[in-house]
Structures are given as structure tokens and as C-alpha cells.
Structure 1
Amino acid sequence: MAFILHKSIRIKAPLRLRSALLFLKGINPLWLALGLVLLLIIWLASGDVLRSADEAPDVTEEVVESPSRIEAELYEAEYYQPELGVQGRIEPWRQIQIIARVSGEVIDLPVAQGESVESGSVLLQLDAEERAARVAQLEADAELAAAELSGAEQLRRQDLASQIEYLRLVAERARVATELEAAEMALSYTRPEAPFSGIFDRRLIELGDYVQSGQELVHFTDISRLRIMAQIPQQEVARLNVGQPVEVQLLDDSVLRGELRHIATVADPETRSFFVEVEAENPDLRRIAGGTASLKIQLAEVFAHQLSPSLLSLDGDGRLVVRYVDEDERVREQEVRLLSAGRDSAWVEGLPEQVRLITQGAGFVELGQQVEVVMAEED
């Protein structure tokens, strides 16, 4: 019986193997490969899970963030005299156009064009022969009228002259005196004089010309001093005062010294700027009137800081600010007013007397953030 059982088992085993082989043969090789790969992935994953479960979890330590490191430099305020710079127009101190008061022929030109003359100098001569004769005639008439009136006064005291005759003589003397005064004035108009010391700048007539009353004759100017006109923005005019020193820089880089003489009380309605006038001496009588100049008006001294323009920035509202570190090592921001700026330095006001300005790292920290400060001197 045992023999029979053993034999049956030996017979059945090959049959199962053959069945399995037949089953595998019937499976598509592609699906078989995919199945094997899937089994391999499951085996590998189960191994990692088992290994991870066997290992003790790591103890996570709390990470403590250190403060950001920035560089700062100590700045101290000092007195600074700011300047307000504007462009101006140069004009002569005085300038007039002399016109003919009477008609006549030009018979003399005693002053050369461009010559300097003193006040009262005769600039030209018109023909005055008829007017001189008229003055002589009226002077004789005035003497006659005065004599007749004197005789009438003596007769009146003796009651030998009527009141009407006396009044007629009084009127006659007054008429002659008036005509004589007008004739003398007309005669003086034939010899136009310099109204002030200056330069016979331009002559518009020639010798022998016949001029009419009202015709322009010469231009006369005084450039011993100059006036420079400019327009000041309305936000700056409050910083100005009459008498402030002004440096007038000319196109050739030479400089004249002057002072502020006038500030308008009302702004120009179109530009909203204020007219100002500067007076400057011109001892060398330089020919610069009519040109332009750069004005530097010296303003009152202020307490300010000098710093690098790179430390300035704009906040969200467009205000000019700088960043600094307070006593608690926290980042702060302060609005400042720019007084002047150059390529290498800028002057600002609005900061404490002593302040630690952030020179490096300001863009990597937030306002109110606590930082580690390294002073520039320690580098």
C-alpha cells in the first residue's frame, strides 16, 4: 500500500509542473515581464518599510535663527551752509533809449559810440539857430513886460493908471515868461545830455540826419552794476531773505559777488514761481548784460549730515529716506531733506545728531528687524 501511494505522488508532481509550464506558455511575454517588475518593486518597498520600522526615529532639535548681519557707520551732524541754485538773466543796472524832443538837423556828435561819459555830458547837437533866436526875442519881450508893469505900479500908487490896464500888464508879463520858459526848454532839447554816468552804447542817427520829434536817437546804459533776474520755485522761496549773499557764475566760469535785493510777494500765476532780483558789482565793466548766469544763493546755516548718495532711497510714498540702527539694534527708517548732492557726497537734514547708518545689507533686512551690527571701523 505504501508503495502504491509513493508511486502516485511521483506521478502527480510532473503533471503539476507541466500544467504550470503550459500556463506560463499561454501568457503574453510582455505581461509576464511587467508582472515581474511589479513584484520586484513591491519587494524592494517592503524591505525599506521593514528596515525603517526597525530603526529608531531621529530626535529633531529646534533650529535657532541668528540675527542678520549688517554693516553700519557712525555719522555725526555738523554745520552746513546750503546753496540754492537757479538760472538767471543778466541786465544792465540802468538802460534807457534817448528820443528826440524837438525836430532838427544833427550838426554834431561829440561822443563816440561805446564811449563812457559822465552824467550831464552832451551826447549830440541838433541845429538850434531858430530856437536860440526865439529865446533871445522872448527875453527882450520879458524885459519890456517887466518894465511896463513896473511903470504901471508907480502910476497906480498916484492913481494915474486904471485897474484894468494894470491887470493887462500883469497878464502880459506872465505870458511872456511862460513862452520864454518853453523856448528855453526847447533849446535845451537840441543838446540831449547823459542822464547818468554810463556808456554811449548805440547811436541810431548819423551826422546830417534830420530827426523828428519822438524819433529814437541813442541807447545809453550803466553796467557798473548789474541786476540778475530769476524765478524761484514756490517750495524754496520761504528760505530766502533780502540781503543774502549770492555767487553769480558766468559762462566762462568766472564769478561775480552780489546780494539778493528783492523778492516778489506774489507768485507768477502761470509758473507758480517767485521773481527775485540780485545786484552784483561789475568793476571791470564786462560786457555780459543780456546773457545768462548761474546763481548760487547762500542760505542760512543748518545742522546736517554729509553722506554717500548710495545710502539714500525712496519709500513707498516716494519720500527720500535712509535706514539706520537704533539703540536696540533694530532697523529703522527716517525721512530726510536733501540740501545738495554731488557725485561723491550729499548733504541731508532731518537725522539725529549722531546716527548709525546702514552702509551694507540694508536691502536684505526688514524694518523693525533685530540685526547684528558690525561697525565699518571694525572691518
Structure 2
Amino acid sequence: MFTKKLNPLWIAGALVVLLIIWLASGEVLQAPDKAPEATEPPPASLNRVQVREFRARTHQPDLALQGQVEAWQQVEIIARVGGEVMNLPVEQGSLVEQGKVLVKLDAEDRQARVEQLKADLELVEAQVEASEKLRARDLNSQIEQLGAVAERARVRAELEAARLALRNTRPKAPFDGIFDRRFVDEGDYAQAGQRLLRFVDISRLRVSAQVSQQDVHKLEVGYPATITLLDNSQLKGQLTYVAAVADPETRSYYVEIEATNPERRRIAGGSAAIQIQLGEVQAHHIAPSLLSLDGDGRTVVRYVDENQQVKEQPVELISATRKGAWVSGLPERINLITQGAGFVEPGQEVEVVMAGEE
């Protein structure tokens, strides 16, 4: 073969010659004498957030409570003396004026006792008068005169007690109201201390409730209130009392609201929803979704300051509905983050897109 006739030395020499020619015809790669100039990396893009300006407005919040409706006055007439029930001159459920007799008990011998003591009093009055005249002439002793005066005082006391016992056989209405319920019937014998009837005034109502210690500082006597009954009808009232000390068991404060009931509707004893209108405040109305909790569990909102930096501000939640939340603790005007607040952190600079004013 032809390849077998070639000398290996010639082949090697030819390859060396070709390598020299290739190197001579190309560019020789050399390391640069100086380092390349440093170039700044392109600036990172800022997170974009949507911001809306919110302004403070006058807001009148209310405090919602659950309460109990009670009669303005309610008393149980008790038998002060024993006796047979002779007559019930007023029908159960009737409207009664103050001073009207409600029950007539058997007076027994009480009237006769009064007449006897009246006669005794006339006698001792004459004895005291005669004793004073004799004493002036030194015809009796001072002890005899003092005895006559003491006897007069004793008879007067007995007469007053007898008159009271006689009056107690005719219990009267203590105020204008309703003979709500009787506990005896004609012919019954009432013992002293026994219940005779219940008497109530429902022309006004007392609505009582308990207020938490977190909310009691918001209340002032005189605040208007609305009472909503189970049939959704409403009464207007006014806060008349706030307890000074909390209930030791519930740590809540007892409050009373007075409401008028001119139609004397039968609603005492039932439950009701109460809304007490509190004092006016300057507050912001925002979407509940803008509220969040910080690491300490405080309710906060996020906003952007004049340097386009994200900030957090604690707020107090005044009230919240499906339409929005009222909060306090913010300046009169503030640019709250409405979109993108979850992707930024306080202190971070952001790109702001204004969404309008609220």
C-alpha cells in the first residue's frame, strides 16, 4: 500500500509545518493588561401598591346590648293585719288611680277599739289639765303630774296604732297603675304578712342590661337609646343610670334605661335589643378588609407616607357592619393601601398608584 511506503518522520514533520502556519495566520489570545470597568446592575423595580385617600368624618356610634324590660314600678300589697277578705272592689287588670281602695278586710273590733281610745284620750287630757292646775297651787306632787302626762302619751300612742290597724284593713293603690294580679279571693282569711295582690305601673318602663368593662367608659347618663322588641317594634328611651361598681361575678356594669309606654303595652318582663347612641367622634369609614393584626395582636392599617414608604398605624375599631368599619386613631387625611398591602412590609419604599378619594 501507498501508506506503508511513507516514512513516519515525514508525516510528523508535515504536521508540525501545518501547525506553525495555522498559528501564524490567527490572532494570538492574550490576557488583558487592565480589569474591565465595573458596571452598575440595573435598579430593582419597586413593588406597586394601590392607595386611596381617606378623610375623617363625624360619626355617632352606638352600643348594642341585650336587656330585660321591667315595669317602672311594681309592688306586692301585703296584709299588714289579719282578717277575712270581705270585698275586692277593683277588677283584676283594671287601671287604678292612686289612693283607691284595692282590698277590704274585715275590720272586726278595730273601729270600736279606736272609739274607745278616743274616749280614753279625752279623759286623760282632762286629768292632765286638772293636774296642772293643782300643781300650780301646790295641791299635788310633781310625780302625780308626770304620771298624768305619761298616761296621756300612752293613750295617744295606742290610739294611733289602732287607727293604723284600721287603715290597714283597706289597702290602697300606692300610685297610678294597674291591679295586675290578685293572690286572694273573697272569703279567704288573710294572715298578716300574706300577699294580697300585685300592683304595677307600666306607663313607663325600665330596661336593664349589663355593659362590659371595656365599653362602660363610653356611656354617659342622658344618652338616647332605642329599644327593639321581639315583634321588631321600637320604643325610645334615655340612659338614666350606670353602676359605679362592676358585678363581682360577671365583671360587668348594670345600666338602666327609661322608656315611655303611653299605650301601656304588655311588654314588661320580656327581653329586648338595646342600642345606645354614644357621643359624636371623628373617625374614618373603611373596608374591613383593610384591617389586619400586627405581631402584638393590635388592629392596624397600612398606609404610604410622603416619602412613598409603607407605614403601619394602630387603630381602634368603633363599629363594623357589612358596609364598612369605623375606626379612630388616624390623622384627618391618610393614604391607605387598598391593594398590595400583603406584599410589602413597613419601611419599604413602593410605587404608588392613586385610586381616588374616599
Distance 2:246 2:141 in 1: 69
CA separation of 1:267 and 1:163: change in aligned 2, threshold 3 A: closer
Instruction: Specify which of 193, 216, 226 is matched with residue 172 of structure 2.
Output: 193
Q: Taking structure 2 as the reference length, what is the TM-score of the superposition?
A: 0.83
In the other structure, the counterpart of 2:19 is none
Larger Rg: 1
CA separation of 1:205 and 1:370: change in aligned 2, threshold 3 A: same
In the other structure, the counterpart of 1:259 is 238
Kept in 1: contact 2:209–2:255 (CA 8 A): yes
1:358 corresponds to 2:358: no
Task: Kindly provide the amino acid, as one letter, of the partner of residue 116 in structure 2.
Answer: Q
Offset from partner CA, 1:235-263 (integer Å, 9 cap, x none): 22222222222222222222222222222
Instruction: Specify which of 195, 214, 222 is matched with residue 216 of structure 1.
Output: 195
1:320 corresponds to 2:336: no
Aligned-residue offset at 1:100 = 0.5
**Which deviates more from structure 2 when the two are superposed, residues 64-73 or residues 332-341?**
64-73
In the other structure, the counterpart of 1:70 is 49
Kept in 1: contact 2:310–2:346 (CA 8 A): yes
Instruction: Specify which of 215, 228, 233 is matched with residue 236 of structure 1.
Output: 215
Distance 1:316 1:173 in 2: 85
Distance 1:265 1:373 in 2: 51
**Which deviates more from structure 2 when the two are superposed, residues 331-340 or residues 291-300?**
291-300
Distance 1:376 1:163 in 2: 105
In the other structure, the counterpart of 2:98 is 119
Distance 1:286 1:61 in 2: 84
Distance 2:356 2:145 in 1: 107
RMSD, aligned α-carbons: 2.5
Task: Kindly provide the amino acid, as one letter, of the partner of residue 96 in structure 2.
Answer: V
In the other structure, the counterpart of 2:18 is none
Task: Kindly provide the amino acid, as one letter, of the partner of residue 202 in structure 1.
Answer: R
1:285 corresponds to 2:264: yes
1:81 corresponds to 2:60: yes
Q: Taking structure 1 as the reference length, what is the TM-score of the superposition?
A: 0.79
Distance 1:67 1:224 in 2: 68
Distance 1:162 1:364 in 2: 109
CA separation of 1:160 and 1:315: change in aligned 2, threshold 3 A: closer
**Which deviates more from structure 2 when the two are superposed, residues 91-100 or residues 269-278?**
269-278
Instruction: Specify which of 75, 79, 86 is matched with residue 100 of structure 1.
Output: 79
Report the structure, 1 or 2, having the larger helix content: 1
- Identity of matched residues, %: 59
Distance 1:184 1:171 in 2: 20
| SS of residue matched to 2:204 | strand
CA separation of 1:308 and 1:159: change in aligned 2, threshold 3 A: same
Distance 1:240 1:164 in 2: 67
Distance 2:291 2:68 in 1: 34
Distance 2:55 2:160 in 1: 76
| SS of residue matched to 1:169 | helix
Instruction: Specify which of 96, 102, 114 is matched with residue 135 of structure 1.
Output: 114
Distance 2:79 2:184 in 1: 11
Offset from partner CA, 1:33-92 (integer Å, 9 cap, x none): xxxxxxxxxxxxxxxxxxxx9xxxxx9993432222221211111111111112122222
CA separation of 1:360 and 1:246: change in aligned 2, threshold 3 A: same
CA separation of 1:64 and 1:175: change in aligned 2, threshold 3 A: closer
Task: Kindly provide the amino acid, as one letter, of the partner of residue 305 in structure 1.
Answer: H
Distance 1:169 1:369 in 2: 103
Aligned-residue offset at 1:171 = 3.3
Distance 2:347 2:137 in 1: 114
1:372 corresponds to 2:351: yes
Offset from partner CA, 1:255-313 (integer Å, 9 cap, x none): 22222222222222222222222222222212222222222222221110011111111
Offset from partner CA, 1:123-175 (integer Å, 9 cap, x none): 11001141111112222222233234334444555555555554443333332
In the other structure, the counterpart of 2:277 is 298
Distance 1:319 1:166 in 2: 86
Kept in 1: contact 2:72–2:204 (CA 8 A): yes
Kept in 1: contact 2:53–2:356 (CA 8 A): no
In the other structure, the counterpart of 1:337 is 316
Distance 1:160 1:335 in 2: 97
Distance 2:39 2:131 in 1: 138
Distance 2:157 2:247 in 1: 48
Aligned-residue offset at 1:193 = 0.8
Kept in 1: contact 2:308–2:349 (CA 8 A): yes
Paired residues in the alignment total 325
Kept in 1: contact 2:205–2:259 (CA 8 A): yes
